Amino acid sequence: MDINTLRSVATVVSMVTFIGIVWWACSKRRAQDFTEAANLPFEQD
């Protein structure tokens, strides 16, 4: 295994991780949590 193969594997793993995080953040199950978090600055104490 040379350095270019290692770089390719690292790039693919990073891309898959990024897509997984985006998928998780945009899922319908998480939408309510993010809506609540977005409204936190507007709540009164």
CA angle, corner 33, sides to 40 and 24, nearest 5?
135
Look at residue 20 in the predicted model and tell me its pLDDT: 97
The pair of three-digit structure tokens given for residue 25, joined into one six-digit string:
């953040």
Show Cβ contacts of residue 45 under 8 Å, excluding neighbours closer than 6 positions.
none
Which residues of 1-45 form beta strands (DSSP E)? none
Largest Cα–Cα distance in the chain?
A: 58
Element housing 31 (H / E): helix 28-39
Predicted pLDDT at 2: 94
pLDDT 10s per residue in the chain (45 long)? 899 999 999 999 999 999 999 999 888 888 888 889 999 999 886
Specify the pLDDT at position 45.
66
